[in-house]
A and B are shown apart, each in its own frame.
Chain A
């Protein structure tokens, strides 16, 4: 069958072989190797991510005023953040957004990845490229495009609806804005998530299909009951990053601001709020505090999800 688990005798022979080698030097070498491998990344990570974050943390316990300069204010900014209605309104909104948009997007991504992987489709390369394209479009450009498509007077959907005598929904209204943004995000990232899962499927052994067939399993059964569980780490990753991405949503609301500022205002999402605070209101310190509180919210949601799905694999093994 699969060659993943070798017979027991081989394993014991192998450990004997390892311990027969000269111990001292090899053990030191062995102990150091993992660190050598992660060192380049960790070094860069510490300098360009952790260091600025620490600085931002420092910023968040001060207050800088246009008149009067810097002052240490301890946890004042955080207390204010916890009581800030604008911030929590944004968080609530993102939770609602995530509950609907993430499962739909990832469900489609998984389905497409399985179909592409199974070979039950023509023009596979065309589809791979086609689904990848939306991710390749920078958000500045997406602004122009979706601003046009959603246009309440001159957008194509509106014009088509007028032709057919349908009432057009106003995509940019208070009621529909969240769904409109969800549509853009789904458009942008379904292909992206699909590719992550597809690559994971591609690196599964080809023998799986044969093995399943020998046991009499049909194509979709192999897909659902064998392959999906085998790529669950990849799926899990896409969920975590979707949670993070949803709570940190920024690009798309900012894009919508130009065409529907009365709906988006300055705090539609928590991250947009942090940005406005820093770059428009020049309240850098409070913005930093908001960012960290948002980070804490993300941590809570992500780790809750991890606990709920009992991701033992990532903790040990």
Chain B
């Protein structure tokens, strides 16, 4: 993950690229006070993946899977820290709570309603496709940190090549999946033509990929930011065996947060209860 921010808005309101979440919060509150039509960013209440990425960066460990043993801790201390932080910003109306990836949201990005987008490595190309009018005004930066001087990042989204149980030729399919992502020519095509973030280190470190610039980002070598970020991703994070369910429940809960009926902390507690009972009904031995 990383930030994609509007340099023109930052310049106009004298904002610095926030290095810590504390700085981010201060700037967000000030920005909205200076111009009520502007938000530092959007907190998308429908995007479980985005929110999970932020929990990830803060050190939260919502799931631990061991066969049919499952530990669920979606409301652990790190998660609560993130929850309280964003609740403060929501209460101060320093961030918007609109759902993402729809017409309204694309318009908002393009027309400068949000000063930045907390995004991921696939973000730069995607943004350049939907926010044409604001071309040249965007820049990339690393995620703000919880502690000054830290270097922690997380993942949001991405792709997987998976072979299912129903496959008629599982061995061959697996070999193909591995080849698809490891073969240097194939990986290069995926990176160059599909704009997928490279899976091969050799590609990541190639000067061709590193030095790539685009006018949309004012000539900045955007890939370097995300290469740096990818090195900082905390690898101890685990997913649940039923992430679709988790995301749907998150949307339900975050939706209520957006409406102001519950707090983000309460949402996490509700999520914990719902996930635990679902997991039990699916036959897992649940702890936590």
A adjacent to B, CB under 8 Å:
yes
A108 to B281, CA, bound (A): 48
**B residues 88-115 with Cβ under 8 Å of A?**
99, 101-104, 107-108, 111, 113
Binds A, one of B174-182, B216-224, B240-248: B240-248
Binds B, one of A64-72, A201-209, A292-300: A64-72
Q: Is B283 an interface residue (CB 8 A)?
A: yes
Q: Do A265 and B252 touch across chains, with their CB atoms under 8 A apart?
A: yes
Q: Encode A252-279 as 1/0 by CB contact (under 8 A) with B.
A: 0000001111110110000000001000
Q: Is B30 an interface residue (CB 8 A)?
A: no
Q: Do A154 and B107 touch across chains, with their CB atoms under 8 A apart?
A: yes
Q: Do A66 and B244 touch across chains, with their CB atoms under 8 A apart?
A: no
- A23: min CB distance to chain B, Å: 60
Q: Do B254 and A262 touch across chains, with their CB atoms under 8 A apart?
A: yes
B257 closest partner in A (C-beta)? A262
Q: Do B104 and A262 touch across chains, with their CB atoms under 8 A apart?
A: no
Q: Do A265 and B68 touch across chains, with their CB atoms under 8 A apart?
A: no
**B residues 247-288 with Cβ under 8 Å of A?**
248, 251-252, 254-256, 258-259, 278, 281-284
- A163: min CB distance to chain B, Å: 16
Given A65-B282, A66-B283, residue A258 in contact with residue B104 (CB < 8 A): no
- A246: min CB distance to chain B, Å: 24
Q: Is A134 an interface residue (CB 8 A)?
A: no
Chain A residues positioned under 8 Å from B3 (CB to CB):
none
A282 to B252, CA, bound (A): 17
A155 closest partner in B (C-beta)? B104
Q: Encode B99-139 as 1/0 by CB contact (under 8 A) with A.
A: 10111100110010100000000000000000000000000
Given A66-B241, A261-B45, A266-B252, residue A281 in contact with residue B103 (CB < 8 A): no
Interface size on A, residues (CB 8 A): 25
Chain B residues positioned under 8 Å from A152 (CB to CB):
104
- B276: min CB distance to chain A, Å: 14
Interface size on B, residues (CB 8 A): 29
- A143: min CB distance to chain B, Å: 9
Given A66-B282, A262-B46, residue A154 in contact with residue B248 (CB < 8 A): no
Chain A residues positioned under 8 Å from B254 (CB to CB):
262
Q: Do B278 and A281 touch across chains, with their CB atoms under 8 A apart?
A: yes
Q: Do A261 and B283 touch across chains, with their CB atoms under 8 A apart?
A: no
Chain B residues positioned under 8 Å from A211 (CB to CB):
none
Q: Do B104 and A265 touch across chains, with their CB atoms under 8 A apart?
A: no
SS class, residues of chain B in contact with chain A: helix
Q: Do B104 and A153 touch across chains, with their CB atoms under 8 A apart?
A: yes
Contact of B46 among A144, A155, A174, A261 (CB under 8 A): A261
Chain A residues positioned under 8 Å from B107 (CB to CB):
151, 153-154
Q: Is A280 an interface residue (CB 8 A)?
A: yes
Chain A residues positioned under 8 Å from B284 (CB to CB):
66-67
- A34: min CB distance to chain B, Å: 44
Q: Do B245 and A281 touch across chains, with their CB atoms under 8 A apart?
A: yes
Q: Do B248 and A144 touch across chains, with their CB atoms under 8 A apart?
A: no
Q: Do A263 and B108 touch across chains, with their CB atoms under 8 A apart?
A: no
A276 to B46, CA, bound (A): 15
Chain B residues positioned under 8 Å from A281 (CB to CB):
242, 244-245, 248, 278
Q: Is A148 an interface residue (CB 8 A)?
A: yes
Q: Do B278 and A263 touch across chains, with their CB atoms under 8 A apart?
A: no
**B residues 228-245 with Cβ under 8 Å of A?**
241-242, 244-245
Q: Do B248 and A266 touch across chains, with their CB atoms under 8 A apart?
A: yes
Given A66-B282, A281-B245, residue A262 in contact with residue B258 (CB < 8 A): yes
Q: Do A258 and B102 touch across chains, with their CB atoms under 8 A apart?
A: yes
Q: Do A148 and B103 touch across chains, with their CB atoms under 8 A apart?
A: yes
B249 closest partner in A (C-beta)? A266
- B219: min CB distance to chain A, Å: 30
Chain A residues positioned under 8 Å from B282 (CB to CB):
65-67
A266 to B284, CA, bound (A): 23
A149 closest partner in B (C-beta)? B103
Q: Is A90 an interface residue (CB 8 A)?
A: no
Q: Is A98 an interface residue (CB 8 A)?
A: no
Given A66-B283, A154-B103, A154-B104, residue A265 in contact with residue B242 (CB < 8 A): no
Q: Do B248 and A280 touch across chains, with their CB atoms under 8 A apart?
A: yes
Chain A residues engaging chain B, CB cutoff 8 angstroms: 65-68, 144, 147-148, 151-155, 174, 258-263, 265-266, 276, 280-282
For this complex, 13 residue pairs linking A to B, each with C-beta atoms less than 8 Å apart, are A147-B103, A153-B108, A153-B113, A154-B104, A155-B104, A259-B99, A259-B104, A261-B255, A262-B99, A262-B255, A266-B248, A280-B248, A282-B242
A66-B282, A151-B104 given; 19 more Cβ-contact pairs under 8 Å:
A65-B282, A65-B283, A66-B283, A66-B284, A67-B68, A147-B102, A152-B104, A154-B107, A154-B111, A260-B99, A262-B46, A262-B99, A262-B251, A263-B255, A265-B251, A266-B248, A266-B252, A281-B248, A281-B278
Nearest 3 pairs between A and B by C-beta?
A262-B255, A67-B283, A65-B283
